[in-house]
Amino acid sequence: MIDVKDLNEYPEKYRDSQRSRGADESQVDSIIAADLARKNAITAFEALRAEQNAFGKKVAAAKGEEKQQLLAQVKDLAARVKSASAEADAAQAEQDELLRTFPNRIIEGIPAGGEDEFVVLKTVGQPRDFAAEGFEPKDHLEIGELIGGIDMERGAKVSGARFAFLKGQVARLEIALMNMGLDQALSNGFIPMITPTLVRPETMAGTGFDVKHDDEIYRLEKDDLYLVGTSEVALAGYHADEIIDLSAGPLRYAGWSSCYRREAGSAGKDTRGIIRVHQFNKLEMFSYVPMEEAEAEHARLLAWEEEMLAKIEVSYRVIDTAAGDLGNSAARKFDCEAWIPSQGRFRELTSTSNCTGYQARRLNIRERVPGAESKGTRAVATLNGTLATDRWIVAILETHQNPDGSVTVPQALRPYLGGLEKLELV
């Protein structure tokens, strides 16, 4: 959640953020009013509690009729204390509800607007010119079927639409991608993690997802558990309610997990192939850093994503996502989009988000204030970024295809495929 103290001190920054997101600016004033009501209610409750405690001493010292009169007053006071306590709890609940849905304050300078208002920061490489090579590029599904690696028909038979079997050479390709990404993560100080894919509602909500209204999330109602759409959720919850030590540098985890998304509202979009499916595997970077180091860590995560994209030899661009296209928890997000030849456009392969202290406050993750004599604590910053996922297979198959439908394996991936240089037709 956002820092209410900061919002009270700098409300215009939060109004600007809401305006850039295309969100409701009046929520800022609602939170300020709710916070004032909460403070007033707590003050009233504490004053009555102090009066009640003082009365208790009077009653203990009184005798006879005086004591009976005081006891009657104590009873009335107890009722008022109970009422004041309920008012304070209600004021706290009202503020909590407002904060639950209020998005993170964006980092100043990112583009305002919606999905199409992103800014291209750079483009790397030139899309392959298939026309100059004399053949029309096939799409990834046709290639996957020719090399015996993608079976959508049986995926639908077993599980329904937007499910697939990856098998043979394509299954090996995915595992190779994940292992290459894991080796890179290890070399940069990440701790590998195999994470749970079912989490409690407080973990899902703590990460910033709206469990009440997000139709993308699968819920197991009987168990009150949620299937994650990214290992970010489990990794964010890993240190919930803890004070962590960042004195030796960032805590970095690389989470390998299956992920699940309902793809609600995606009817008719990307129905062919594995670009948009309900289940996929992903290797996710997750960092805990001091707040003042968050933007530098964000730049590092982006650089590591680009390092992986260079290894698979695809043309890509980096975009600064517009405020209105950010999730609630992100203050800034960079996407890396690879060129997909069959579609003639760039499609997202990776994203990396700086969530500043938003998730940490919701999950109560803190560090000791450096050099503070009072030994106080403060929220840390959390960041995430993708190192590999099933969608990368789309870019690899299409970019490196040959006229017959076979696929040349990028050099960096060959050691992870036992030296295999080509995915052959079957």
Stretch(es) of the chain classified as CATH 3.30.930.10:
119-423
Look up residue 134 and give its two tokens: 């004399």
Residue 112 in 3-state DSSP?
A: coil
99 vs 95: CA distance, rounded Å: 6
- The DSSP-derived string for 123-185 is EES----HHHHTSPPPPHHHHHHHTT-EEHHHHHHHH-TT--EE-HHHHHHHHHHHHHHHHHH
Residue 309 in 3-state DSSP?
A: helix
- pLDDT tens sequence for the chain (426 residues): 899 999 999 999 999 999 999 999 999 999 999 999 999 989 888 888 888 777 666 666 666 666 666 666 777 778 888 888 898 889 889 988 899 899 999 999 999 999 999 999 999 999 999 999 999 999 999 999 999 999 999 999 999 999 999 999 999 999 999 999 999 999 999 999 999 999 999 999 999 988 877 888 999 999 999 999 999 999 999 999 999 999 999 999 999 999 999 987 777 888 899 999 999 999 999 999 999 999 999 999 999 999 999 999 999 999 999 999 999 999 999 999 999 999 999 999 999 999 999 999 999 999 998 876 667 999 999 999 999 999 999 999 999 999 999 999 999 999 999 999 999 999
Would you state the pLDDT for residue 67? 67
Would you state the pLDDT for residue 266? 78
Element (H, E) at 347: strand 345-354
Q: What end-to-end distance do the CA atoms of the chain give, in Å?
A: 52
Q: What is the pTM of this model?
A: 0.91
Stretch(es) of the chain classified as CATH 1.10.287.40:
4-101
Positions marked catalytic: 261, 276, 348, 351, 391
Q: What is the CATH number of domain 119-423?
A: 3.30.930.10
Query: What class is the 4-101 domain?
Result: mainly alpha
| Exposure of 383 in the CB half-sphere (CA atoms within 13 A) | 29
182 vs 164: CA distance, rounded Å: 24
Residues 6+ apart with CB under 8 A from 333: 321, 325, 326, 327, 351, 352, 353, 354
Would you state the pLDDT for residue 355? 98
